[in-house]
């Protein structure tokens, strides 16, 4: 199916497939191409409306009977680390942050494969080869960095990697992975904590975390971050109590796809083709 707005881009909907977060449900995505001179402006605008980037595509869940996937971001200025967050930061103080251009390396891919084989062997990315990995990293029409974290206590070994987009109002964590033998160090949480610091250094107000899914154990950790906002009903709001979002999984919680598209606010792209 294809739905259009008066000004490009074109929006499409994927066919339903098994949901990776909530059992016995089906997922569907609304997406559009991210290309051309207006890519940066479009990425900035749609990211603020719950969209995420994957290579040269922007997408947002658009399921027929569920609205549980809520885009989440942290208000950097209001973030106050919990005691557990301080312990995680202390535990990883030997790691050195190293920003790089969006260029894939064999070392990154080796870490990526070890991460998938240990933690997501049955996931949708389990069969990615080195060329698909390189495409994930390098096919970006916007400002993107690869943030590496190296272990200074172990010959500068690569411990974690985060593919990060630089938006006009924040940092968007596109995908991260880490050494599976360092799971006790809570590196996934540490990468988020360090990106909060990185956003502060850059004067950016938000860190975008992707989707928080009420009822999904895979995504539950995101609700533990203070100053978390979720995108609901066309606006950002403080998370509040996670249990208050149970109705998002109700089959009557979604709008028709045409109405969803009509409610998208696009930047002025005229004259940029």
- The whole-number average pLDDT for the span 158-179 is 97
Grade residue 120 by pLDDT with cuts at 50, 70 and 90: low
| More reliable by pLDDT, 97 or 8 | 97
* Surface-to-core class of residue 91, CB atoms within 10 Å of its CB (0-12 exposed, 13-18 middle, 19+ buried): middle
Cis before 13 (ω within 30): no
Residue ranges making up the domain that contains 146:
76-206
Residue 235 lies in a domain: no
User: DSSP letter at 94?
Assistant: T
Q: Which domain CATH number covers 147?
A: 3.40.630.30
Residue 176 lies in a domain: yes
For 120, 172, 205, the CA distances from 135, given in Å and listed in that order, are 19, 18, 29
**Secondary structure of residue 213 in the 3-state scheme:** coil
Q: What is the pLDDT of residues 30-58, one digit of tens each?
A: 999 998 888 999 999 999 999 999 999 99
Residue 270 lies in a domain: no
Q: What is the pLDDT of residues 199-245, one digit of tens each?
A: 999 999 999 999 998 877 777 889 999 999 999 988 999 998 888 87
Residue 6 lies in a domain: no
Lowest mean pLDDT among 25-29, 141-145, 199-203: 25-29
Percent of the chain predicted with pLDDT > 90: 62
pLDDT reported for residue 166: 98
d(CA 29, CA 17): 10
Residue 140 lies in a domain: yes
User: Structure tokens of 64?
Assistant: 């027929």
d(CA 159, CA 84): 20
User: DSSP letter at 219?
Assistant: T
Can you give the three-state secondary structure of 47-86, one letter per residue?
A: HCCCCEEECCEEEEECCCCCCCCEEEEEEHHHCCCCHHHH
Contact 79, 229 (CB under 8 A): no
Q: Other CB atoms closer than 10 Å to residue 236's CB: what's the count?
A: 16
Contact 228, 242 (CB under 8 A): no
d(CA 215, CA 158): 33
Residue 257 lies in a domain: no
Assess whether pLDDT exceeds 70 at residue 158.
yes
For 70, 130, 171, 206, 230, the CA distances from 235, given in Å and listed in that order, are 11, 38, 19, 15, 8
Residue 179 lies in a domain: yes
Cβ neighbors of 27 (< 8 A, separation 6 or more) are 16, 17, 18, 19, 20, 61, 63
d(CA 253, CA 188): 31
Residue 225 lies in a domain: no
Assess whether pLDDT exceeds 70 at residue 121.
no
The total domain count for the chain is 1
Contact 119, 182 (CB under 8 A): no
Assess whether pLDDT exceeds 70 at residue 171.
yes
| More reliable by pLDDT, 247 or 151 | 151
């Amino acid at each position: 199916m294809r739905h259009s707005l008066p000004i490009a881009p074109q929006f499409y909907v994927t066919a339903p497939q098994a949901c990776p977060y909530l059992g016995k449900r089906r997922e569907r995505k609304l997406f559009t191409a991210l290309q051309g001179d207006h890519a940066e402006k479009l990425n900035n605008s749609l990211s603020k409306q719950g969209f995420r980037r994957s290579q040269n595509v922007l997408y947002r869940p658009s399921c027929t009977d569920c609205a549980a996937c809520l885009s989440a971001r942290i208000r950097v200025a209001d973030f106050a680390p919990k005691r557990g967050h301080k312990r995680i930061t202390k535990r990883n103080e030997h790691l050195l942050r190293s920003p790089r251009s969006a260029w894939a390396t064999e070392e990154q891919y080796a870490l990526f494969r070890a991460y998938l084989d240990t933690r997501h062997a049955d996931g949708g990315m389990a069969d990615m080869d080195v060329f698909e990995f390189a495409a994930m990293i390098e096919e970006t029409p916007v400002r993107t960095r690869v943030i590496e974290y190296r272990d200074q206590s172990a010959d500068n070994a690569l411990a974690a990697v985060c593919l990060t987009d630089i938006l006009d109002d924040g940092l968007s964590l596109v995908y991260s992975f880490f050494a599976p033998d360092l799971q006790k160090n809570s590196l996934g949480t540490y990468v988020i904590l360090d990106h909060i610091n990185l956003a502060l250094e850059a004067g950016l107000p938000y860190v975008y975390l992707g989707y928080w899914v009420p009822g999904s154990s895979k995504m539950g950790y995101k609700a533990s971050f203070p100053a978390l906002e979720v995108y609901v009903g066309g606006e950002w709001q403080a998370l509040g109590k996670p249990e208050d979002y149970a109705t998002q999984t109700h089959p009557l919680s979604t709008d028709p796809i045409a109405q969803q598209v009509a409610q998208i606010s696009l930047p002025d792209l005229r004259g940029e083709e």
